[in-house]
Amino acid sequence: MTKSVALAADRISWEERELIKAAPEFGFTIEWVNDESLCLGHPDAPSLSGYDALLVRSRSYTRGGLIAALAEAAGLPVLNTARAVHTCENKALLRTVLRTAGVPVPDYRLALSRKDFEKSLEELRLPLVLKPVFGGMGKRVTLIRDADTAQSVYDYVEDLGHAFEQACLVEPYLGGGTSVRCLVVGRELLGAAEFASGGTDWRNNAALGNSSRAVAHDPDVLKIIDGVVAELGPGIYGVDLFGTPDGYVVNEVNHAPGFRAVSSATGADIPSAVSRHIQELIA
């Protein structure tokens, strides 16, 4: 009997279509399940009955982490694990976990109030980046070049409705307009591509459609990837790096990474690699 994997997502994009297309060659099928209709909580998870594993591709970290946790509680193998998703979701937690393990991360300060923010401005040198602890796709990430505008920028943070939204990181501006996205499947680095801002937006984020080019698998990068996987466990990750004079540092780790740009830049067959990893999980 052919095994079946549920793909939890709020929509089907290019990546999901490619994953669904690749799966049959590896002896199983992937079926999209709308992550807004799972209604999990029952010990046997009726909405996931009949599936052999769950692949979480929810764009929302909060939604993805909750789905992963409840699916695991119902006994279903999940990619990525709930622990991995929750760690990636919280930028402050991720950096603490990685730094404790010896994986290089940028210097940063956690700002939960204006007093925290002002102290951060004293301790770190401009230009600085203000970013939400919870969030992705480059949204609400703000570059602060001048001390004169810093307080006005924080006014917008204070006007947000919840402490969850107000929690921010303050960090030095690194990368000079470029970053490196590493696509990891299992424990393997499949491809690395450098993203550069297009000139109209300083953020070098793959979700913003910036230009990309393949880069070599630097030994230092491979060491960083090994460190990330050692802490989060084998899975499917987009690891974003900034280059500094002292080497690369991990900016973020994405739990459900888009990989079209990396695949295009490097030629890596990422859907097949994901299928092989799932095949090992459900064997």
User: How high is the pLDDT of residue 62?
Assistant: 87
What CATH number should be reported for the domain whose range is 175-282?
Answer: 3.30.470.20
User: How high is the pLDDT of residue 140?
Assistant: 85
Stated pTM of the model: 0.92
User: How high is the pLDDT of residue 211?
Assistant: 61
User: How high is the pLDDT of residue 196?
Assistant: 82
Structure tokens at 138: 């480059």
What CATH number should be reported for the domain whose range is 3-87?
Answer: 3.40.50.20
User: How high is the pLDDT of residue 198?
Assistant: 59
What CATH number should be reported for the domain whose range is 109-172?
Answer: 3.30.1490.20
Q: Which stretches does DSSP call E strand in the chain?
A: 3-9, 28-34, 53-56, 78-79, 109-111, 128-132, 142-144, 168-172, 178-186, 188-196, 211-214, 235-244, 247-254
User: How high is the pLDDT of residue 203?
Assistant: 61
Q: Which residues of the chain have pLDDT under 70?
A: 197-211
d(CA 88, CA 95): 9
